[in-house]
Amino acid sequence: MKAGWNLGNTLDAMPGETSWGQPYTIREMIDALKGLGFGLIRIPVSWGGHTSGAPDYRIEPEWLDRVETVVGWALDAGLRVIINSHHDNDYYYPSPENAENAVSFMRSIWTQLAKRFSDYDARLIFESMNEPRLAGTAQEWVFDENNPDCKEAARVIALCNQTCVDAVREAGGRNFARMIMVPPYAASPSAAMSNTFSLPEDPSGRVLLSVHAYTPYQLCMLGTKKYSEFNDDCRTEISGLMSGLFSRFIKKGVPVIIGETGCTNKGNPEERRKWAEYFFSKACRRGITCVIWDNGEVGVGEENFGLYDRVSHKIFPESESYYEGMISGLSK
C-alpha cells in the first residue's frame, strides 16, 4: 500500500466537516494524492455526534451519504481507503461502568456501516476505534499493565474490538473478506506489546493491528525546539519500535498498519526530512504500512503536521523536504 495519508481534522471535526479550519473535501483534492505517490487514504470520521443517540445510535442519512461520497472518490482515484470511528471516545469510553453502552454503540455503528458498504471490495478497510483510552485520568496516555484501571480498560477495548468484527462479518455482502484494523489502549505500541492485549477472534482471519507512533515523542510531538534534532537516540528508538512490532505481530502473520505518524514542524526542515526518511524506510523493511497524519497546520510548534495543501493540491512549501524524505524512505 506504499505510504498513506490522513484526511485529518475534516470528517472527524466536530460539529461538521469545516469546523476545524480545513476546506470542504472535493474530488480534485483526492485525485492529486495519487500523483504524489500515496497508495492509501485514511478518512477519520466522528459518528457519535451525527446519530440519534442512545440506545439506537442511528446515523444521520446525510452524514453517511457524505462519507460514502468521499470514500467513492478515493476508490475511483485508485487508493485503498480506511474509515474509522474517530473522536467517539466518549461513546466507547473503556471503563467497566460504560462497557455495556460502549458495546451497544460499536454494534450499532459498525452494523450500519457494514451494511452500507457491503458491496464495496476489499480496498475499503474498516478500523474499529481511534485511541480508546481513559480520558481525563492520569493513565490517559500511559498504559500500565499492572494498573487495575488499565487492565479493565484493556478488557473493555477487547469487547469493543470483538463487537466490531462480529458486526461486520454478520452484515453479509463482501464484508466477510474485509480487512478490519483494531487498536490496543490509546493505539499505543507499548499497550499492543502487553500481555493484556489480544486480537479478536475472526472467522476470516483478516484482522490487522492498528497503532499510532509519533516516535520519538520529544522530537515529533513536543513544540519546544530543545528537541528538534534527529540524532542516534531517535534512530535507536525507531528501530526498536519496528523490530518489536515485527517480532510480536508480523512474524506471526498479523499485519500492522501505523495509522498515524508524523513529526511536527519546529522550523527544522532538514531534521524532519531525516526523520521521515528513516522512519518510513525502517517501516517498509519490516512490511509495515505508515499513514502520515496531516491536520493542515504549518506553523511552528506542537500539532503542526500540515503536509498537503488542500487548496493548491500541492505539498506545502514548509513541508517539501519532509515529504521528500518520506518518499525517499519508501525506496530504501
Verify whether residue 152 is a known catalytic residue. no
The secondary structure element, H or E, covering residue 73 is: helix 61-76
Residue 212, SS3? strand
| Catalytically annotated residue among 127, 260, 297, 318 | 260
Helices 232-248/269-285 angle, 10° precision: 20
H/E run at residue 329: helix 320-330
Q: How far is CA 199 from CA 165, 222, 321, in A?
A: 10, 31, 37
Per the rule left: phi > 0, alpha: psi between -120 and 50, beta: everything else, 130 is: beta
Residues sharing a CB contact under 8 Å with residue 211, sequence separation 6 or more, in sequence order: 183, 184, 187, 188, 189, 192, 245, 256, 257, 258, 259
User: What pLDDT, on a 0 to 100 scale, did the predictor assign at position 1?
Assistant: 66
Task: Give residue 259's pLDDT.
Answer: 98
End-to-end CA distance of the chain: 16
Q: What is the distance between the alpha carbons of residues 79 and 291, in angstroms, rounded to a whole number?
A: 13
Catalytic residue among 17, 50, 127, 131: 131
Q: What is the pLDDT along the chain (332 residues), one digit of tens a residue?
A: 679 999 999 999 999 999 999 999 999 999 999 999 999 999 999 999 999 999 999 999 999 999 999 999 999 999 999 999 999 999 999 999 999 999 999 999 999 999 999 999 999 999 999 999 999 999 999 999 999 999 999 999 999 999 999 999 999 999 999 999 999 999 999 999 999 999 999 999 999 999 999 999 999 999 999 999 999 999 999 999 999 999 999 999 999 999 999 999 999 999 999 999 999 999 999 999 999 999 999 999 999 999 999 999 999 999 999 999 999 999 98
Sole residue written with cell 493513565: 139
Catalytic option among 17, 50, 86, 277: 86
87 is catalytic: no
Alpha helices in 171-289 (DSSP H): 189-193, 217-220, 232-248, 269-285
Distance of CA 174 to the CA centre of its chain: 23
133, exposed or middle or buried, with CB in 10 Å at 0-12, 13-18, 19+? Answer: buried
Q: Is 260 one of the annotated active-site residues of the chain?
A: yes
Return the pLDDT at 332: 81
